[in-house]
Amino acid sequence: MSQPAPIRPPIRAAWQMRIDPRPFALPLVAIGLAELLALRFVPTDSFSLAAPHQIAVDFVRLLVDGTFLSRTLETLGAALAGLALGGLLGLALGVALGLSEVLDRVTSMTVEALRPVPPTALIPLSLLVFGFGLTMEIAIVAFTTIWPVLVLSRAAVRETEPRLMEVAKVMRMSFGRRLTRIVIPGAIPRIFVAFRLAAAIALIVAVTVEIVANPRGLGYGMMLSSQSLRPAASFAFLVWIAIVGWAFNQTLILLERRLFGDLSRAAR
Amino acid sequence: MRVLWFLASLGFTACMVALWQLASATGMASQIFLPAPSRVWEALMAGFSSGDMPAKLGATTARVFAGWALASLLGVALGALIGVSSRARIYIAPSLEFLRPLPVSALVRIFIGLLGYSEQMVLVVIAFGAFWPCLLSTIYGFSAVEPRLYEVSSVLGLSRWSMIREIALPSALPDIVAGMRVGLTVSLILVVVAEILGSREGIGYNILLAQRSFKSADLFAGIILLGMIGYASAMAINWVESRLVRWR
């Protein structure tokens, strides 16, 4: 599940940054329009829709009383635990398959058969095996994140400079040393990109699992408000989920640039 | 040689299935959670020979492709319009980037509120989800077109439409196909969510029913069918992509 490269301006130092007002025009117009439409067409006691100002009131309430914070921690915890498990598995498999063409070819059919299984189809299975709770969510996130990490780290390892491998051979480096001194360091920027993409997917999958089945975290908070016919709270959760997702991705992108700078851009 | 590799690969998969059967037969894994592959096969066959599996498979597949096709069409059209204009990109792209990490599954309740537990709801959910990757990679594809090509086309006096069609589109095509591929994956993920939350008959909803009645063989049969839809559609896109690359 690779994503298209983000559209973003070049990196600037903090003191060079000026906030461009133009991107804010569209959201402001959209919110204003929604407010007008809501005033005209949506009754204040609607069970499915709410006006932006009602959503804003509930947003502040949920933010202040700590509901957002505690639910966000539950969701992020599951997403990160699943990412750690699935990402490490995917990395181990990806490095192994990248190093050995034989292994890669022999396992290709198994990998290609498992990869297209939609993670949401595993929600009922995971529920059957683990019951409600953290474990079933982690299991699904892990299954989902294995594949992007596997595919990208396999590609990264394969592109190890062949001359370096020749040098290693001449120097009679052991397999372990070749792995830790040449293959992994060369592939690190791209492996980080793989983890960044997988992290974004992990968060989406975690929220989805909570919406479909698991009674915890942000997704469940949203479903609960919606089922108790409080659309404003439900929309407030939606806005918060969007903010969390955006902030999470921005943090990862920032981290990537800090750590690897131009290397990671060249790797994309 | 390719045949040999294929056989080796097939053999490995067969070994995995055999291990699964063994784990199930020796009782290492509980039959409740992990039914033997033979039982899953029986469930599949039973569903196809007597049950309503073909109808459900048809319904789910039709939803995936209808939603995805709609999303691709709209995504490419809108993406092209935004992508060729640097002004539109400045105004619109940041909002789209902000919305991109939003899980579309979070919007299902809203669509249910607007459209009810209906077929249109499922279609809109899938189309909405598959629309984003397609739109964003189309914008990216069009904004990454060599700027001199745009200059040349304005010197040649091409209209905006023919400029998009003759110059920008071919250059953006690989990105568009990549976005459509992601969109298809998303469609398959969302059809399950929409069927489960919207209680619409189909393979996804069937998996939930199987879980509720502890019919794990039916559950696995459903997962396998969904995986096969995913596999077949990925193959189809690969094929289209390889044709496009050759054509370029």
> For A112-139, what is each residue's pLDDT tens digit?
889 999 999 999 999 988 999 999 999 9
Are A22 and B90 inside 8 Å of each other by CB? yes
B94 vs A3, A23, A203: nearest CB:
A23
Q: Tell me whether A108 touches chain B (CB under 8 Å).
A: yes
| pLDDT at residue A258 in the model | 87
Q: Tell me whether A138 touches chain B (CB under 8 Å).
A: no
Q: Tell me whether A19 touches chain B (CB under 8 Å).
A: no
Are B103 and A119 inside 8 Å of each other by CB? no
Compute the count of residue pairs across chains A and B with CB atoms less than 8 Å apart.
188
Sort out which chain A residues have CB atoms less than 8 A from B89's CB and list them: 7
Helix (H, G, I), strand (E, B) or coil at A214: coil
Q: Tell me whether A79 touches chain B (CB under 8 Å).
A: no
Let me know if residue A15 belongs to a domain: no
Are A2 and B101 inside 8 Å of each other by CB? no
| pLDDT at residue B168 in the model | 83
Residue in A with minimal Cα distance to B216: A125
Tokens read off for A71? 């639910």
Q: Across A107-116, A259-268, B123-132, B146-155, which has the greatest mean pLDDT?
A: B123-132
Sort out which chain A residues have CB atoms less than 8 A from B9's CB and list them: 105-110
Residue in B with minimal Cα distance to A239: B102
B141 near B173, Cβ under 8 Å?
A: yes
Give the total number of structural domains in chain A. 1
CATH of the domain at A244: 1.10.3720.10
Let me know if residue A46 belongs to a domain: no
Q: Which of A201, A257, A196 is nearest to A265 (CA)?
A: A257
Are B97 and A203 inside 8 Å of each other by CB? no
Interface test with A, best of B112, B189, B205 (most A CBs within 10 A): B189
In angstroms, what separates the C-alpha of B196 from chain A's closest C-alpha?
7
Q: Please give the full DSSP string across A96-163, using - where no structure is assigned.
A: HHHH-HHHHHHHHHHHHHHTTS-GGGGHHHHHHHH-SSHHHHHHHHHHHHHHHHHHHHHHHHHTS-HH
Let me know if residue A231 belongs to a domain: yes
Let me know if residue A3 belongs to a domain: no
Contacts (Cβ under 8 Å, ≥6 apart) of A248: A76, A199, A200, A203, B101
| pLDDT at residue A218 in the model | 94
Let me know if residue A30 belongs to a domain: no
Let me know if residue A14 belongs to a domain: no
Q: What ranges do the domains of chain B cover?
A: 36-247
Tens of pLDDT, residues A186-202: 888 899 999 999 999 99
Which residues of chain A fall below pLDDT 70?
A: 1-18, 262-268
Interface test with B, best of A211, A230, A265 (most B CBs within 10 A): A211
DSSP H or E run through A210: helix A184-212
Tens of pLDDT, residues B165-204: 777 888 888 889 999 999 999 999 999 999 999 989 999 9
Residue in A with minimal Cα distance to B134: A4
| pLDDT at residue A38 in the model | 85
Are B140 and A208 inside 8 Å of each other by CB? no
Let me know if residue A17 belongs to a domain: no
In angstroms, what separates the C-alpha of B34 from chain A's closest C-alpha?
9
A148 near A197, Cβ under 8 Å?
A: yes
Let me know if residue A4 belongs to a domain: no
Q: Tell me whether A50 touches chain B (CB under 8 Å).
A: no
In angstroms, what separates the C-alpha of B153 from chain A's closest C-alpha?
24
Average pLDDT over every residue of B48-72: 92
Contacts (Cβ under 8 Å, ≥6 apart) of A160: A182, A183, A186, A187
Tokens read off for A147? 């594949």
In angstroms, what separates the C-alpha of B12 from chain A's closest C-alpha?
6
In angstroms, what separates the C-alpha of A163 from chain B's closest C-alpha?
28
Q: Give, rounded to a whole angstrom, the gap between the first and last alpha carbons of chain B.
A: 29
Nearest-angstrom CA–CA distance, B79 and B139: 5
Give the whole-number percent of chain B exceeding pLDDT 90. Answer: 42
| pLDDT at residue A12 in the model | 56
Pick the CATH number of B36-247 from 3.30.70.260, 3.30.2270.10, 3.40.190.100, 1.10.3720.10: 1.10.3720.10
Ranges A4-18, B60-74, B214-228: which has the least confidence: A4-18
A residues 219-248 near B, CB within 8 Å?
A: 219, 222-223, 226, 231, 234-235, 237-238, 241-242, 245-246, 248
By residue range, what is the domain housing residue A162?
51-267
Q: Tell me whether A127 touches chain B (CB under 8 Å).
A: yes
